[in-house]
Structure 1
Amino acid sequence: MTGRRERIYLDHNASAPMRPEARQSAVAALELGNPSSTHREGRAARAACENARASVARLVGGTGGSIPAENVVFTSGATEAAAQLLSPNWLVEGNAIEISRLAVIETDHPATREGGSFAADAVTRLPVDQDGVIDLGALAAFVEAAGQDGPAMLAISWANSETGVIQPLDAIRAVLEERRGNHPVLLVLDAAQMAGRIAIDLSATGADAVILSGHKMGAAKGVGAITLKDLGARPFALLRGGGQERGMRAGTEALPAIASFGAAADVFVARGADAGGHLGAMRERLEEELRRRLPEVIILGKGAGRLPNTTAMVHPGVKAETAQIGLDLAGVAVSSGSACSSGKVGPSHVVAALAKAGLDVDPALGAIRVSFGHETGEGALERFVCEYERLVLRAAARAGSAVAA
């Protein structure tokens, strides 16, 4: 009897496979005490927590390691981090301020796109171009208008989770500086998809805070972080009731998950700034083969800078939902949207926004997303192309038969 073919996992943007180093650190931390206890066992747990904090700080500190470890606040994940940061209530230089307006991007992850705790009428969704890049004119108009009312905030996904499109921070910062008027515009970046794929230097971004997610880079699920540029500008605590995380996030730290986060961060820091080069070369070969075999396929965000490990595609002959199911049955795991929304299969708000901007795609078709990692072999991507081509050809044959009938 012929055995089943090995399954291929190409959904790293939903959750990357847990790294061996992260697993080992998590298991070791299971034996440790409460990091808030002052006895020997508690001090060992505190040391493990602070070592992980320093590792995450190095992950976003650039080559100079310019972010102090104390600026890292551990959370239960990127969604909680976004919920805390996307708040009108911040403390800046010891003074409580109220942020009057928030801008997000129409294609953003729901954790930022929905506006956090801002009132609905205080949230502006900025449009994008056909590649999914922010409309800088709309941003300038928002900043000018908001600057008359008081402090404002721009919160964006630095890299889109579905298309991998990276927003142009230099151009965005220029708009914020030129148009802000008398009031500051805080910049919050969701870097959950960036970390571990492209080197991050928080100081160079100009952002006030960066959101991170452990499981997107091979740590355990259930841990994320807020990393602040300066402790003098920070949101009010979302969870109160204890002094953990220097009063910025109450609750006993999830030490095994945190330790795994630190271990995963160490892996990517050791890889250095060129960590994405190998992934980018794999992506280019994947897309060349797709265009060769399936000339009608549309690569979303093709004209913009993108994550090196991500390709999102639309084919006019097959719905993403149908393709995802067929690929799963063939042993290939891909996504037809962000993991937070793909449990309910439906139209992608990202594809809809690109179509609204003029891209010639049918939003009802959705898009297939392939995302991979350093451990993904070339054979895995080749097999995906073969299986996807088979699905497209099968759909075309069915459509031809229906027309003939």
Structure 2
Amino acid sequence: MKRIYFDHSATTPVDPEVAKLMMEYMLDKFGNPSSIHAYGREARKAVEEAREKVAALIGANANEIFFTSGGTESDNLAIKGVAYANRKKGNHIITSAIEHHAVLHTCEYLEKQGYVVTYLPVDEYGMVRVEDLKKAITDKTILISIMFANNEVGTIQPIKEIGQIAREKGIYFHTDAVQAAGNYPIDVKEYNIDLLTLSGHKFHGPKGIGALYIRRGVRIEAIQHGGGHERNMRAGTENVPGIVGLGKAAEIAKNEMAQKMAHIQRLRDKLIRETMAKIPHVKLNGHPTQRMPGNANFSFHYVEGESLLLNLDLKGIAASSGSACTSGSLDPSHVLLAMGLSHEVAHGSLRISLGRGNTEEEVDYFLTVMPEIIERLRSMSPLYGKQPAAMSSNPCSHCHHH
């Protein structure tokens, strides 16, 4: 059976060029970048070249890039680091209800330490309203942390406007750009972004490596202490193979960005259009146009997400029902609930995230198996086909919030 990978928001395959380069820095050029002999200097040079490539991907300067173990660590460093360094100035943080748990749980942790956090609601498309943000700002606000694009529904936030407001008010602006960086054009200067999180494995780099962009002059404290690596921002011997791999992946992503986006978006638009046409009682989640090129998120009424994924997997298709980090949990997605979906409908959600390797044939295959799967699962549902005629126009009027 042919296997099809439609879960690029969870992770991506490492580019062969990236893997080849990493191998070199494991086997031959294995020096510690802090050593002063030739082996060390060779490793140091590679780390600094990678720093320049990551900076170029987001329009930053090389000295504003700090390597971390990935998105979660970068989010923690950005939010805690700014909170601790600016506590004399204020203790108020603004974020959104649909952030990744690396942001939400970090903010909840800070609340226990006396910080005050505002969680902005989102509209039906999963977008933060700029007016809500303006109203939430107080003279104690020290940080605004809003994701660039949502990992589940793909909605791209009004980052430019948020950055503008933050800059005018003298408040630091952090964006978790894990889904967007390497997959969507970003310019930190144009968007007035002070801190930005990115992760290698979302754009064909290795897992366990990421970066935090910190604009020069931002007041921030390290949260990991030791030998003063990464200009005292993150102690610990650098993960040289990972860093080199991240640099190469960033370089490739920058060069291929435009053609990759066009290819993926064309496939995604076809997948959305035909799924909506072939299957009744289905809802597209997320913004119709302001969304990541590869993301399609649907709710299928009267279907349970878990059984949907298992059935697709039996047909060789890998997809997801939300974020990979929480897919082990049976709670409906906090993102879909924040967008106003009922528990029942949120449970029937499916995320398809396309990547550069996907083909039109794969989309066609999905479009042939999907209607059969939905039909079969619905025939087993106690709710499907039982509603009176008056209700059938709104497939969800039987749903209620628990």
Whether TM-score is above 0.5 comes out as: yes
Is the contact between residue 88 and residue 99 of structure 1 (CA under 8 Å) also seen in structure 2?
no
What is residue 37 of structure 2 aligned with on the other side? 39
Deviation, 1:48, is 1.1
SS at match of 1:338: coil
What is residue 325 of structure 2 aligned with on the other side? 340
1:126 aligns with 2:120: yes
Q: Distance in 2 between matches of 1:187 and 1:348?
A: 26
Is the contact between residue 300 and residue 348 of structure 2 (CA under 8 Å) also seen in structure 1?
no
Is the contact between residue 125 and residue 286 of structure 2 (CA under 8 Å) also seen in structure 1?
yes
Deviation, 1:115, is 3.6
- When normalised by structure 1's length, the TM-score is 0.88
What is residue 103 of structure 2 aligned with on the other side? 112
Q: Distance in 1 between matches of 2:277 and 2:385?
A: 27
1:12 aligns with 2:8: yes
Give the AA of the match of 1:308. Answer: P
Deviation, 1:68, is 1.6
Deviation, 1:403, is 7.5
What is residue 140 of structure 1 aligned with on the other side? 134
Is the contact between residue 90 and residue 98 of structure 1 (CA under 8 Å) also seen in structure 2?
no
1:310 aligns with 2:295: yes
Is the contact between residue 222 and residue 234 of structure 2 (CA under 8 Å) also seen in structure 1?
yes
SS at match of 1:38: coil
- 1:49-82 CA-to-partner distances (Å, cap 9, x unmatched) read 1111111011111xxxxx2211110000110011
Q: Structure 1 residues 362, 400: CA separation in 2 closer, same or farther (over 3 Å shift)?
A: closer
SS at match of 1:17: coil
Give the AA of the match of 2:187. Answer: D
What is residue 48 of structure 2 aligned with on the other side? 50
Q: How does 1:180-191 map to 2 (within 5 A)?
A: 180=169, 184-191=170-177
Q: Where does structure 1 lack aligned partners over 5 or more consecutive residues?
A: 62-66
What is residue 400 of structure 2 aligned with on the other side? none
Q: In structure 1, which of residues 151, 155, 158 is the aligned counterpart of residue 145 of structure 2?
A: 155
Q: Distance in 1 between matches of 2:383 and 2:3?
A: 32
Give the AA of the match of 2:307. Answer: T
Q: Distance in 1 between matches of 2:147 and 2:46?
A: 30
Identity of aligned residues (%): 34
What is residue 228 of structure 1 aligned with on the other side? 214
Per mean C-alpha deviation after superposition, the further-off stretch among 123-132 and 197-206 is 197-206
Give the AA of the match of 1:105. Answer: S
Deviation, 1:234, is 4.1
1:102 aligns with 2:93: yes
Deviation, 1:228, is 1.8
- 1:205-248 CA-to-partner distances (Å, cap 9, x unmatched) read 11101100000111111000001222x11421111111211111
Q: Structure 1 residues 242, 200: CA separation in 2 closer, same or farther (over 3 Å shift)?
A: same
Give the AA of the match of 2:233. Answer: M
Is the contact between residue 99 and residue 153 of structure 1 (CA under 8 Å) also seen in structure 2?
no
SS at match of 2:225: coil
Q: In structure 1, which of residues 374, 378, 403 is the aligned counterpart of residue 356 of structure 2?
A: 374
Q: Distance in 2 between matches of 1:317 and 1:403?
A: 9
- 1:116-157 CA-to-partner distances (Å, cap 9, x unmatched) read 4522561111000000000223211111xx22x3x4211111
Q: Distance in 2 between matches of 1:73 and 1:8?
A: 35
1:388 aligns with 2:370: yes
Is the contact between residue 25 and residue 259 of structure 1 (CA under 8 Å) also seen in structure 2?
yes
Q: Distance in 2 between matches of 1:255 and 1:73?
A: 13
Q: Structure 1 residues 399, 280: CA separation in 2 closer, same or farther (over 3 Å shift)?
A: same
- 1:264-320 CA-to-partner distances (Å, cap 9, x unmatched) read 111011125454122111111111110111132111114350000011100103111
Per mean C-alpha deviation after superposition, the further-off stretch among 294-303 and 251-260 is 294-303
Q: Distance in 2 between matches of 1:349 and 1:402?
A: 25
Give the AA of the match of 1:76. Answer: S
What is residue 280 of structure 1 aligned with on the other side? 265
- 1:6-31 CA-to-partner distances (Å, cap 9, x unmatched) read 21111110001111111111111103
Is the contact between residue 378 and residue 384 of structure 2 (CA under 8 Å) also seen in structure 1?
no
- When normalised by structure 2's length, the TM-score is 0.89
Q: Structure 1 residues 192, 325: CA separation in 2 closer, same or farther (over 3 Å shift)?
A: same
Q: In structure 1, which of residues 77, 83, 94 is the aligned counterpart of residue 76 of structure 2?
A: 83
Q: Distance in 2 between matches of 1:163 and 1:300?
A: 6
Give the AA of the match of 1:165. Answer: T
Q: Where does structure 2 lack aligned partners over 5 or more consecutive residues?
A: 387-402
Aligned length: 381
Give the AA of the match of 1:163. Answer: V
Deviation, 1:33, is 0.9
Q: Structure 1 residues 245, 284: CA separation in 2 closer, same or farther (over 3 Å shift)?
A: same
What is residue 64 of structure 1 aligned with on the other side? none
Q: Distance in 2 between matches of 1:272 and 1:392?
A: 34
Q: How does 1:149-298 map to 2 (within 5 A)?
A: 149=140, 151-176=141-166, 180=169, 184-230=170-216, 232-273=217-258, 275-298=260-283
Deviation, 1:398, is 2.5
Q: Distance in 1 between matches of 2:193 and 2:215?
A: 7
Q: Distance in 1 between matches of 2:8 and 2:177?
A: 15
Q: Distance in 1 between matches of 2:383 and 2:180?
A: 45
